[in-house]
A and B are shown apart, each in its own frame.
Chain A
Amino acid sequence: MYWGGNPAECHPRHFTKYTLMQKSKFLPRGRKDRTMVLVDIRETKSAKASDIFLQVRPGKDFELITILRAMIKEQHVGDEQIAETGMTREVLDDLVHRMKSCKFGCFFFGMGLSMTRGKHMNSAALLTLAAEMNAFTKFVAMPMRGHGNVTGADVIMRWQTGYPFGITFNRGYPRYNPGEFSTVDVLVRGDCDAAFIIGADPGATMPQPAIEHLKRIPTICLDPHVTHTSNLARVHITTAPQGIAAPGTAYRMDELPLPLKPALKSPYPSDEEVVRRINAAIAEKPFWLAEGSQPQMITNQV
């Protein structure tokens, strides 16, 4: 089930390599053994590949998922309320039946879900639905990531700190609070007095107040190319492109690590080397706290 994404155009190899076409021991007929449902606000090219296309009203994803959560528990939801999301009872009854009777279901959700009104709660709704579907059959949910190796950043942060993003280290240990420590919010409020950007282009994607703040503060950017961010940065260090001229590990969307071998040579250092050298230079400076003092854990206060 694809929700709020357009894999036919954005992840063109997704159908053939992973979700629809592959033949396997338990699904020997490939596409014929699978059912694909697409939920989106408009009929995209992916709709042609789907068995069932559900056109949800814009901004009603959270409501629709919540209705599905109620329906799988056999709670009665009114026809009028269902119609508000752009669906009918017959369609949803059929969908719930198919979801419950399948052997292994998977939700793939895109920016149409996670970046519309409700944001993280829309994703949370789909994840909760997937969790609750496991009372009936195996079900998982997976985000359709946009850029290369976003998954890698999440995975590494997770095993290093226990949290995937939105972390502060100012007390000497990781603390997690998206909305307070996540990059966009920190920049929009103007909470930081320096920025170090690696492998990203926030200058192209972030809201205007965040970009304005990046211009105000010393911004250091590591990137092989000239980007929006490198143009507004105080320092731009050109690095070798990962996977082309620098080795490394990229994480596939399903969190499978893939080693990358460089095909070309680059006169520039890799991101890793630059960060290593910056770290070495910082290590020579005196410790930022007074002699003998430790950062105080915030939980000691409660």
Chain B
Amino acid sequence: MTITLTLKQAPAVPLEAEVLSPDVFAELSNAEIRALIVYNGKRQVPLEEFFDVDGERSDELVLHGDLTKVRLIGRGMSKGSVTVHGRVGMHLGAHMKGGRIEVHGDASDWIGAEMKNGFIHVHGNAGGQIGAAYRGSLAGMKNGTIIVDGTAGLEVGMRMRRGTIILGGQAKDFTGLQMKGGTIILMDGAEIRTGAWMNRGTIISMKPIKLMPTFAESNDSNPTFMNVYARQLKRFGVNLPFAASEGIYQRFSGDLAVPGNGEILVWQPA
């Protein structure tokens, strides 16, 4: 049994709907769900004003429509699933603790920001600050996995502490900015300033990338952890090469400005 929500009309101003979360919906009847409060700008409106609600008492949510202006979906969720058919707005799955979110369309900025655990898969493109720390906060995502099939914006994984981000398309500037741990995998490389000010953590790029001047080349190798990674990631349909016959990883360490022990691994096909 799932709960299906269909957007009636696109809101003119941002709709802050942190109640669109399996934790909230799990025990509620259809009428109670329709009466939940969302914020259209500063005004409190019942959910039914913007959504048709079908189903009740379930932790599986399916959303339809152009949700570009609907923000904070799945915020702080700890179980169940959210599936979005269409574009989705900012802060998707921010602070989430568990469960899974799937987006068949594009997502916006701050997806999975400061998440603690869980799984987010965006089939389209995403915005910036994926799994990042909010402004003024010291640590971004602490665990969990974010997969974006398309491109991503600025500051992906900014100050992330642990967890994995996988980008199928190209990322913009400042990927892994001030990273404190975790892994970012770039299947199609990134623009400039990748890994700037990183402290710890790993950035793996399948394409050559422009590095900061404060990174030092350390060695070429095929780290043993890579085949463990590759096996893990196969479940998500990501193919990470690791065999010495296929090529080798060039390793850069930095950022010297911090000075940090982060590493950037760039794949060199044989």
Contact = CB atoms under 8 A, between A and B. Distances in A.
Interface of A: 62-63, 66-67, 69-70, 73, 75-78, 81-82, 84-85, 117-118, 121, 169-172, 176-180, 191-193, 288-290, 293, 295-296, 298, 301-302
Contacts of A117: 173, 192
Contacts of B59: none
Given A63-B212, A66-B212, A67-B214, 10 more contacts: A70-B214, A76-B216, A77-B214, A78-B216, A170-B39, A171-B42, A180-B110, A298-B75, A301-B21, A302-B95
Interface residues of B, number: 41
B177 interface: yes
B169 interface: no
A223 B257 CA distance: 46
Given A121-B174, A290-B44, A296-B37, A62 B72 contact: no
B196 A288 contact: no
Contacts of B214: 63, 66-67, 69-70, 75, 77, 81
Question: Which one of B14, B69, B255 has the greatest number of beta carbons of chain A within 10 Å?
Answer: B14
A298 B38 CA distance: 11
B43 interface: yes
A193 B13 contact: yes
Enumerate the 9 nearest inter-chain pairs by beta-carbon distance, A residue then B residue, closest first: A81-B213, A69-B257, A70-B256, A170-B42, A75-B256, A302-B76, A70-B257, A66-B257, A302-B95
Contacts of B256: 70, 73, 75-77
Interface of B: 12-14, 16, 18, 21, 37, 39, 41-44, 69, 72, 75-76, 90, 95, 109-110, 128-129, 134-136, 173-174, 177, 192-193, 196-197, 212-214, 216, 255-259
Contact of B213 (A85, A118, A121): A85
A172 B216 CA distance: 49
Contacts of B196: 62, 66, 121
Contacts of B72: 298
B177 A295 contact: no
B109 A288 contact: no
B16 A170 contact: yes
B13 A180 contact: no
A76 to B, nearest CB: 8
A85 B213 CA distance: 9
Contacts, number: 101
A296 B39 CA distance: 9
A82 B213 contact: yes
A177 B14 contact: no
B42 A191 contact: no
Contacts of B128: 179
B213 A67 contact: yes
A176 B134 CA distance: 9
15 contacts: A62-B196, A63-B193, A66-B212, A67-B214, A70-B256, A75-B256, A76-B256, A77-B213, A78-B213, A118-B173, A121-B177, A121-B196, A179-B129, A180-B90, A191-B14
Nearest to B259: A75
A210 B262 CA distance: 39
Question: Which one of A69, A85, A121, A290 has the greatest number of beta carbons of chain B within 10 Å?
Answer: A121
Given A62-B193, A117-B173, A70 B42 contact: no
A104 to B, nearest CB: 23
Contacts of B12: 193
A171 B16 CA distance: 10
Contact of A301 (B18, B216, B255, B257): B18
A178 B192 CA distance: 22
A63 B259 contact: no
Contacts of B213: 63, 66-67, 77-78, 81-82, 84-85
A179 B13 CA distance: 16
A191 B76 contact: no
Nearest to B193: A62
B89 to A, nearest CB: 10
A170 B44 contact: no
Nearest to A217: B12
Question: Which one of A82, A191, A290, A293 has the greatest number of beta carbons of chain B within 10 Å?
Answer: A191
Contacts of B13: 191-193
A148 B174 CA distance: 32
A171 B39 contact: yes
B132 to A, nearest CB: 11
B25 to A, nearest CB: 13
Contacts of A66: 196-197, 212-214, 255, 257
A295 B255 CA distance: 43
A293 B95 CA distance: 26
Contacts of A179: 109, 128-129
